[in-house]
Each structure stands twice: as structure tokens, then as C-alpha cells.
Structure 1
Amino acid sequence: MKQLNFEGRVAIVTGGGRGMGREHALLLARRGANVVVNDAGVELDGRGSDPEYAEAVAKEIAAAGGTATANFDDVREKGTGKTLVEQALDEYGRVDIVINNAGILCANLFPEQTDYELVALVEVHLYGTARLAQAAWPYLAKAGHGRIVNTTSSAAFGMVRNSCYGAAKGGVFGLTRTLALEGAEFGIRANCIAPAGWTRMAIESAGDDLLTPEMWKFAEHAMPPAVDAGVVGFLAHESCQLTGEVLSYSGGRLARWVLAETEGIEVGDELTPEDVAGKLEAITSIETLHQFRSATEQLAYTQEKMRATS
């Protein structure tokens, strides 16, 4: 297969100074993209700042013959998305790709989660993602092949000590589904990666009480962050026609998330708690599943079923 390259394309990568974001930035640059490397250099919980991480990756790209510029702004700030887009336009004249990778972690049991942790997690993962995508939207549409790659997490399935993190990542998934719908007419494709790289965030979120020693050993050797970059590179390329999807990589396994609804049961004008309890097995049966691209599709199917039985 012909190599997927990015000559002449401009990418913004948030959280690009360390971990998986660094690998994303390096891969795109190696394949010809001009890259804006954003990283505020915060601690894992979002506090503090250090510009050296973004600068180091930009210099690493330049030393390898690529083109990159560094940005140290915090994606939690309302104006950062606009600033990043303006920097890309000033340096390279366009925006083709947005990689929303920046993330923090405040792992805590739900009753002990502080307000700072709740707000910071949502601001970084959900608000930061939405604001940059929104700021870049007109230029992605103008390009006619704009690509948005957001970062969700299997924590959205549910994960002990990660209630607020999982909520924010679930929000990213829902956001991405709608960006895919609204971007279709402009050639914009929006997808998510649900990565599992052995980074400082993965180590902190797991904890000794959630992983056995065997699982720790497996994760350390089977989840190199560079592998996730290959998935991001595909989703960021203009030849990729997937949209509204999540590709999940973990421990040598690449898969697709599926959002589905069961066939359920037909009900009349009245429904008692006892009715639900008595028919729960039929309601929750996964023998027949339906996948809907949108809420509109789901409503249309429901209306069709109602007409067929009326």
C-alpha cells in the first residue's frame, strides 16, 4: 500500500510534548506535515507549567528535517483554541488537521473527588477539545478535507477512581459523533482514538489495586505509545473516510467501538414499574442490536416500528 503522507498539510497537536502526543507529532512531521506542538507542561493533575516539553519536541522535529513550532498555552483557557489556530495560520497559512490529545488525570474515588478535580478534568478533556475544534472549523471546512482526531478513553465504559475522567471522556465521544454529522457537508471527518499507551497517565490511573502483577508486566511491554500514533496517522489522513467512529488500541489489539440499542419491547400507553421488572430480560436481550448514526435515525426507526404495529 502507498505510504500515507502529509506534505503541505498543517496539523495542531495538543499535549504534544510528552507521551502519546509526542509520538503523534513526530509521526505527522516525519511524513511531511507542518506541526504546531502544544503542551503547557503541567503536572499530571493539571497544576504548574513548563514550556520545555513542547519546545523540545519542536526542536526534535526540526533536527530530523521537519517543520514545527511550539506553543505552551493551556487548553483550559478559553482563548487557547483560537490562539493555536492563529499561530498555525501565521506560521503555515492553513489548518488541515486537529489532534486533541491534551489530558490530565485526577484519580480518586467518587466521594473523595474534589471540585478542582471535577472542573479541571472537564475543562481539559471536553472543553479544550470542543474549543479547538470550533476555532479550527472554518479552516478545516475551507480545506475541504479537514480531519479531527479526538481522544476518548475506555474509562467511559466505567473505571474505579475515574468517575469524572470517564465522564469527560464520554463527553468527547458524544461531541465527536455530532461533529461528524455536522462536518460531513464540508468534507470534515471527525473520529476518536481510545488509546492505551504505557504513559505516566496510564500508570497513575491503573493503580496497584486494579492490576495484578502479571497485568502490570503485560501493559508495560505491550502498550508502547508509538503504536497509537499509527492509528492517529490513519484517522488524520485525508484518504480516511471513517467518521463518527472510535478506534481502540490496547495491548496489541486494534478494534472499533460499537454503540447499539437492543430491539426492546413494545409498550402501550401505560407502563408500570412491575411491567419493566417483568419484561427486563426481553428489554435487555442483545440478540438483536441496532446501530444508529444519529438521534434522528433512532427516532425514524421507532416511528417505523410504531406504524408497523398500529
Structure 2
Amino acid sequence: MGNFLAGKVIAVTGAGRGIGRAVALVAAAQGAAVVVNDHGVALDGREPASEVGESVAREIAAAGGRAVAVADDISTMAGGQRVVDVALAEYGRLDGVVCAAGILRERMLFNMTEEEWDPVLATHLKGTFTVFRAASAVMRRQRSGTLIGVTSGSHQGSVSQANYSAAKGGVVSLVRSAALGLHKYGVTANAVAPVARTRMSANVPTELKEIGEPEDVAALVVYLLSDRAREITGQVYTIAGPKIALWAQPREVRAGYAEGAWTPERIAEFLPGTVGADPMPLLSLLERRDGHG
């Protein structure tokens, strides 16, 4: 065992499979007591089974670590609170949360239904909020702690997963808001946009040329949870096999100013040549693939 997280208590959602499971196992191996949360649902969010998280908690215990399983649905406020309450009841504190729970319901935007939109947003985005909300109240009192959101490169946009993309973009903004709002309390917040072989990545509509394993992601997450990373906040990192990348902060690309009131006609003359547009890398990729570029 290592000691990167010795004495810390970490809660991980979606910890029954894939990246969440890897994070829970590595965190425990690095000395943390772990709250293993997983509602145990299928990839589309249906058919919950509590034994998924329990098996990971047993695996950690068998290896000599400390873990407790929580099967609550973190897309509800009560579920998010329960994850935090169990950490406090079992271990007396909470030093970090990692929100890796997620589902997929893929559909083109013009065919997407409310039943395909709402559960994806509820699991990824609201599920991150409910745990962040409950955890941040504890961390504010402790004046320490780390929030980790799991986003995706799909926060740039997606051809056939608008629901997933919107949720992951929301996670990025939520993390940045948490970083700003909790900085004075000694609490950090960051996001990881992993590219790893999981049951979810098997559904990515484009070929992934750079991809790693869940354990790669877990290594980065454990570092961000550790005291070695206590000065890092408000950042988004990608890890894809051997590559670690940093995403830029949102910023204006260019601006132009004119005197007098704007009209559509004035904007039509002014905007293209002065302000222009910022090319979408993914759109350029699609155009090349489809033979339009």
C-alpha cells in the first residue's frame, strides 16, 4: 500500500464499475477509508442492484483496506446527502469526493425524448451537485477538502449524445463555480476528463486514438485528492493513456467596438471581419471525415 491518502476519507460515486471502481480501489490502496457509492444500474440507468457497490467494498476490505458501501441514488438530494452522512457516521470526517456516476442514452438531438434527456442530466450533473452540495458544507466547516467532478472531452459537443455532452459541460462549470466559492474556506475543486476503456467508452461514436485504462485515471484522481495537489483548483485535466493534458480556462477570443447603437445590418458588416468566429475542432474533424473539408 502507498500513503498518498493516508488518514483521509474519500467518497466515490459510480464506484461499482469502471473508473469509479478503479478510483475506489486505488484510493484505498493509498491509505484512504472509502465510501463506495453505486446505485448498481445498467448502462442506461435501469435495473439497480445494490450488490455492485458492496462487492467493491468487500474487495477493499479483503485487501486490508477500509470501505463501506452506499447504494443510494445520488440523482436525489437525499441520496447525495446519504453518501456524506455515511462517511461522517463511519469515519468522522470527509476529505474528498469523486463523482464518477454516469449513464448513457444515445440519440440524435432531433429524435431525443424527455425520457432520454432527464435521467442523463440527473445522474451526471445533478448527481455531482447533490454530492458536492452535501460535501461542501462539511468541508467548509473543516476548512479543508477536495471535490472532483468527472467530465468528458464531450463537453466540447457531441454528434449523437447532446444530453451527455450538456451534462458534462455543466460539470465543468459546476467545478469552476465550486473552486471560486469555496477557495476562501481551503476547499479545492477540479475536474477530470478521462479517456479510458470502460463500458461507457465502448459507445463513443468516433474512434479513440488515445485511450488508457481506468487505473490511469485513478492515479490522477488520487494525486488531485492528496495534499501534494492542495494548491490546484478550478482545473480540468484529461488523461488518456500516456498523455495528461490541461484544458484552457474560458476566455474571450477577440472583441471589437463600434460607436452608436447596434442594428442587425451593422453587425452583419462588422462581426465577420472584426470579431469573426472560433473554429470548432470537432466540426473540422467531422468535415474531413465526411469529405467536406
Please give the per-residue CA displacement for 1:75-107, whole angstroms capped at 9, x wherever unaligned.
122201111111111100111101111011111
State the shift of 1:170 in Å: 0.7
Match of 2:20 in 1: 21
Q: Residue 237 of structure 1: which of 216, 226, 242 is its match?
A: 226
**Amino acid of the structure 1 residue aligned with 2:245:** A
Give the length in aligned residue pairs.
274
Q: TM-score, normalised by structure 2?
A: 0.89
TM-score normalised over the length of structure 1:
0.84
Helix, strand or coil: the match of 1:239? helix
In structure 2, what is the equivalent of residue 260 of structure 1? 251
Q: Work out whether 1:189 is the aligned partner of 2:192.
A: no
* Aligned match of 1:291: none
| AA matched with 2:218 | A
Gaps of 5+ in 2: 279-293
1:248 — aligned with what?
238
Amino acid across the alignment from 1:253: K
1:285 to partner: Cα distance: 6.7
Which amino acid in the other structure matches residue 284 of structure 1? G
Q: Secondary structure at the match of 2:275?
A: helix
Q: Give the deviation of 1:152 after TM superposition.
A: 1.1
Are the counterparts in 2 of residues 145 and 238 from structure 1 also a CA contact under 8 Å? no
Secondary structure of 1:148's match?
strand
1:276-300 CA-partner distances (Å, limit 9, x unpaired): 33332431377xxxxxxxxxxxxxx
Contact 2:239/2:245 (<8 A) preserved: yes
Report 1:119-138 matches (<5 A).
Answer: 119-138=118-137
Task: Please list, as runs of the form range in 1=range in 2, the aligned pairs for 1:270-281 lying within 5 A after superposition.
Answer: 270-279=261-270, 280-281=272-273
Q: Which runs of 5+ in 1 are unaligned?
A: 287-310
Match of 2:216 in 1: 227
Q: Partner of 2:290 in structure 1? A: none
Q: Which one-letter code corresponds to 2:242 in the other structure?
A: G
Q: C-alpha displacement at 1:252, in angstroms?
A: 2.8
Contact 1:33/1:67 (<8 A) preserved: yes
Q: Which amino acid aligns with 1:237?
A: S
CA RMSD of aligned residues (A): 1.6
Structure 2 residue matching 1:249: 3-state secondary structure: strand
Specify the alignment match of 1:8 in structure 2.
7
Aligned twin of 1:198: 197
Residue identity opposite 2:276 in structure 1: T
For the Cα contact (< 8 Å) 1:4–1:237, is it kept in 2?
no
Partner of 2:57: 58
Using the TM superposition, give the Cα deviation of residue 157 of structure 1 relative to its aligned residue in structure 2, in angstroms: 0.5
Distance 1:4 1:245, change over 3 A: farther
The residue type paired with residue 156 of structure 2 is F
Q: 1:247, CA displacement in angstroms?
A: 0.5
| Percentage of pairs with the same residue | 37
